[in-house]
Amino acid sequence: MTGSRRPGGLSRRHFALALPSALLASGCAAPHRGTGRPGDPIVLTLLSHYASGALRDALQRPVDEWNATHDRVKVRTEAVEFTDLLTTLMVRQAAGQGADIIHPYCLWNGQLVRAGVLRPAPAEHAEEIRNGYGAAAVGAASVGGRVYGYPTEVQTYALYYNKRLLRGAGIDGPPRTWRELEEAAHRTARRDRYGNTLVQGFGLSTYDDSTTVGQTLALLNAAGGRFVSADGRGTAIDSPAGRAVFGLEHRLVAGGASAPGVNVYQAFPSGQVAMVVSAGWWTESLKELMGADYREVGVAPVPRPGAGYAHATLSTGFMLGVNAAGGHPREAWEFLHWLNTERVGVKGARKGAAATRMSALQVSVGSLTGRADDMRTLLGEGGDPNLRPFLDALAYAVPEPNVPGAQQAKSLLRRNIEALWTGQQSIDEALRTTRRQVDREVSRSW
């Protein structure tokens, strides 16, 4: 090495090493957090998918309130669309530009914990979270029994039904069992002479994860089944409950009561779907889309295989966690505690009624949090009765699995459900392929 170096100069090898190192160092340098001068405030960044419209404004309000009342620590919100959230988290983290506070979809928690992105909640915060939220919300915000953040938006799944279509088929109320569901689906379904679907009895749709995996898992949970095994290292879908759900969906599609090609998010508001399992956030969209026709929409708990089964459904959600690479974890947890735990007066509610700022924020955009007491306060007596089944489900919902590799497991399940619905696979093949593929990928992720 010394042979190639001229006195007082850098060798070519040094230069070759220094150039990429300098490029990497400049790219990975710690992000600028405030001025860093003594006495100047610490600026925490919060990255979420509340990027536009009501969601952005709803989050900005409490953040502005915090900034107006706290001199030492300020919070700056940064937002990207949900579809870009995971990518943004990855790229910024790899470049050393990760936000101090992140707002991930709980499905990704296993992946984020395994990659060392999320900081475990300090004991006092973890205790607060365990005591203040429903089991599903706490489960979604935990990985391996350890809590990693404050649950924010929680979605539970229930059965939406069109009262007019059910009445038209001579059915008085929503189905409570799978037998009633199948019967109602077949009686309400209609097609024209060219095979075009006029009314879908039960909305099975390949449109997105929610319409395929979401409602399949809600039905699976209602049948007492689970997607991921207890140890989190494989799938448990190849079970009697899994076989029953795949069988139900297969019969509905094969019998013409369901048409997977139809986009249920458009078809249901147009009165072309009699029943569909979906999450609580949809109520607000339906109100806007349907106007006066919304009064024909009812919501009921997810039907069970039989009367002897306990109520169960799926819950999904987001949480606010603290970045392990952030420089001010104590301040970040302090802000999260203020946002998610401190109770403030609720406008329009009975005198003395209080709820957390996050609960008020979520309800203002038509969503729920895992704090059932807050939800009852905020929704009040005169609220939309269609939200009640979602609220009740907070007590018995099963959180979406969030083990490492959960996102890939969900994608693989979706592909096999679609293959089942479109006749590419039999029920046995779909269960077997899902088990083989998910077991392989999830075990690789640990």
Give the residues lining the site for other proteins (CB under 8 A).
19-20, 23-24, 28, 86-87, 89-91, 93-94, 111-112, 114-117, 194-197, 206, 259-262, 325, 405, 407-408, 411, 414-416, 418-419, 421-425, 436-437, 440-441, 444-445
CA 131 to chain centre: 21
Nearer to other proteins, 204 or 393 (CB): 204
Q: Which helix (H) or strand (E) holds 330?
A: helix 329-340
**Residues 160-186 as b or e (16 or more Cβ within 10 Å = b):** bbbbebbeebebeebbbbbeebbbbbb
Q: Using CA atoms, how far apart are residues 358 and 336, in angstroms rounded to an integer? A: 10
Nearer to other proteins, 188 or 221 (CB): 188
Nearer to other proteins, 386 or 407 (CB): 407
Q: How far is the CB of 245 from other proteins (least distance, A)?
A: 17
Q: Using CA atoms, how far apart are residues 38 and 105, in angstroms rounded to an integer? A: 36
Q: How far is the CB of 27 from other proteins (least distance, A)?
A: 10
Q: What is the dihedral of CA 270, 273, 276, 279, to 10 degrees?
A: -10
Structure tokens at 270: 């147009």
Name the residue type at position 152: T
Nearer to other proteins, 67 or 445 (CB): 445
Q: Using CA atoms, how far apart are residues 194 and 13, in angstroms rounded to an integer? A: 73
Nearer to other proteins, 138 or 273 (CB): 273
* Secondary structure letter of residue 177 according to DSSP: B
Q: Using CA atoms, how far apart are residues 251 and 233, in angstroms rounded to an integer? A: 31
193 neighbors 246 (Cβ within 8 angstroms): no
Nearer to other proteins, 18 or 23 (CB): 23
Q: Using CA atoms, how far apart are residues 184 and 354, in angstroms rounded to an integer? A: 42
Q: How far is the CB of 260 from other proteins (least distance, A)?
A: 6
Nearer to other proteins, 158 or 430 (CB): 430
Q: Is the four-CA dihedral 120, 114, 320, 127 of positive or negative sign?
A: negative
Among the listed residues 381, 373, 440, the one whose alpha carbon sits nearest the alpha carbon of residue 408: 440
Structure tokens at 339: 């946002």
Name the residue type at position 16: A
Q: How far is the CB of 82 from other proteins (least distance, A)?
A: 13
Q: How far is the CB of 442 from other proteins (least distance, A)?
A: 11
Nearer to other proteins, 58 or 276 (CB): 276
Q: How far is the CB of 197 from other proteins (least distance, A)?
A: 6
Radius of gyration of the chain (CA): 25
* Burial zone of 444 (CB within 10 Å; 0-12 exposed, 13-18 middle, 19+ buried): exposed
Nearer to other proteins, 143 or 346 (CB): 143
Nearer to other proteins, 229 or 411 (CB): 411
Structure tokens at 442: 């999830």
Q: How far is the CB of 163 from other proteins (least distance, A)?
A: 25
Q: How far is the CB of 196 from other proteins (least distance, A)?
A: 5
Q: Who's near 272: CB < 8 A, 6+ residues apart?
A: 197, 198, 199, 200, 262
Q: How far is the CB of 340 from other proteins (least distance, A)?
A: 25
* Secondary structure letter of residue 304 according to DSSP: B
Among the listed residues 166, 179, 339, 328, the one whose alpha carbon sits nearest the alpha carbon of residue 252: 179
Nearer to other proteins, 54 or 94 (CB): 94
In Å, how far are 97, 430, 446 from 113, measured between CA atoms? 18, 30, 11
154 neighbors 363 (Cβ within 8 angstroms): no
Nearer to other proteins, 372 or 419 (CB): 419
